[in-house]
């Protein structure tokens, strides 16, 4: 479970996050929705332990991220928005590197790696160096290495961005499977249909503030619009004026 209470973060004069609160529960998919520059990535980076909020609190499974960063980081799996890989390492080596940094036992590491390679349908590319991998293949490597330690919370920054239909489907299936295993899934996106299809709970952020949150029905009701996309635009514009 991820709990965020009134966090704010400024870079110099720019207030990237002004006041954001939400809860991502276990067994639920929570979507962080907002236009570009709304503060989604900053909020997520605070949750990863890469940035420290100026005010408010952020907790993972009851562990305060600011005061107990390493412990909190053990409880999360992250697919960050940069999908850089080490071009001279193989897919399997990438997964192993991250598993070991999570202090995994070697036997467990091996069996979990094989399991993930199978789920993500990447057994044929496991021993290949990632140089020359397609965008979808790279994404799968990133996904696998973020799930290797079987974390109880998953944070995904724009996970289906630029993926082909087949890979998008794999990612969706993956998210559904994580949800079934009672894992808290938090993902950010600016794609409306993606969010409405997958999320149990939606948090709409604009200009560093939460403008609405709830189920798709609740969001539509708040904006007095029938279409979710229209609702999103209305809510975002309401803040801007």
Partner 1 sequence: MHPVTIVFGKEIRDATRDKRALLVAFGFPVLAPVLVYFMMTAIIELKMDAEKITIPIVGAQNAPAFIQWLEEQDVRLEEFSGDAEQAVRDKEQDLVVIIPGNYQRRLNELRTISIEIVSDGSRTASQPTVGRVHNLIRDYNREIASLRLIARGVSPEVMRVVISQTVDVATKQQRTATALNFIPLYIIMAAFVSGMGLAVDSTAGERERKTLESLIINPVERYQIITGKWLAATIFASLGMTLTLLLCIAAMSQVSLDEIGLKFHVTTPQIFLMLIATLPLAFLVTSMQLLLGIFAKSFKDAQSYIGLLTLLPVLSLVYTMFSPIRTEEWMFAIPMLGQHLLLVDVLGAKDVPLIGYFYSAISCLVLGMALVLVTARLFQRESILSN
Q: DSSP letter string over 96-163?
A: HHHHHHTT--HHHHHHHHHHHHHHTT-GGGTTSBSTT--HHHHHHHHHHHHHTT--SEEEEESTTTT-
CB 144 within 8 A of CB 120: yes
Minimum distance of partner 1 from residue 215's CB (angstroms):
30
* CB of residue 149 to partner 1, shortest distance in Å: 9
Nearer to partner 1, 78 or 91 (CB): 78
Give, as one character, the DSSP assignment of residue 65. T
CB-nearer residue toward partner 1: 53 or 216: 53
Q: Which is nearer to partner 1, 96 or 220 (CB)?
A: 96
Least distance between partner 1 and beta carbon 170 (Å): 20
Q: Least separation, in Å, of the C-beta of 6 and partner 1?
A: 20
Q: Please identify, using beta-carbon distances, which residue of 109 and 211 lies nearer to partner 1.
A: 109
Q: Which is nearer to partner 1, 153 or 196 (CB)?
A: 153
Look at residues 72, 38, 6, 3 and name the one whose alpha carbon lies nearest to residue 207: 38
Give the chain's radius of gyration (CA, Å). 18
Interacting residues of 95 by C-beta distance below 8 A, sequence separation 6+: 113, 116, 117, 141, 144, 145, 148
Shortest Cβ 106–partner 1 spacing (Å)? 8
Neighbours of 65 (CB within 10 A): 25
Can you give the binding site for partner 1, defined by CB under 8 A?
45, 48-52, 69-71, 73-74, 76, 78, 80-89, 93, 97-98, 100-103, 129, 142, 145-146
């Amino acid at each position: 479970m991820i709990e965020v209470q009134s966090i704010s973060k400024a870079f110099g004069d720019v207030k990237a996050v002004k006041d954001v609160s939400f809860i991502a529960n276990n067994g639920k998919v929570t979507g962080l929705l907002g236009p570009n520059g709304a503060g989604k990535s900053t909020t997520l980076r605070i949750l990863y332990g890469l940035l420290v909020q100026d005010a408010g609190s952020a907790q993972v499974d009851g562990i305060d991220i600011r005061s107990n960063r390493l412990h909190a980081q053990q409880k999360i799996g992250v697919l960050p928005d940069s999908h850089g890989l080490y071009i001279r390492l193989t897919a399997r080596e990438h997964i192993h590197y991250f598993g070991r940094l999570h202090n995994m036992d070697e036997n467990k590491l091996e069996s979990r790696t094989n399991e993930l390679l199978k789920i993500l349908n990447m057994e044929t590319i496991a021993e290949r160096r990632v140089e020359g991998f397609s965008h979808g293949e790279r994404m799968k490597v990133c996904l696998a290495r973020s799930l290797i330690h079987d974390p109880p919370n998953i944070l995904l920054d724009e996970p289906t961005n630029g993926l082909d239909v087949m890979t998008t489907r794999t990612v969706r299936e993956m998210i559904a499977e994580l949800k079934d295993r009672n894992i808290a899934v938090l993902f950010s996106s600016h794609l409306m249909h993606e969010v409405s299809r997958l999320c149990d709970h939606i948090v709409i952020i604009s200009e560093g503030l939460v403008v609405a949150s709830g189920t798709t029905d609740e969001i539509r009701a708040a904006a007095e619009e029938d279409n979710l996309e229209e609702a999103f635009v209305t809510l975002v514009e309401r803040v801007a004026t």
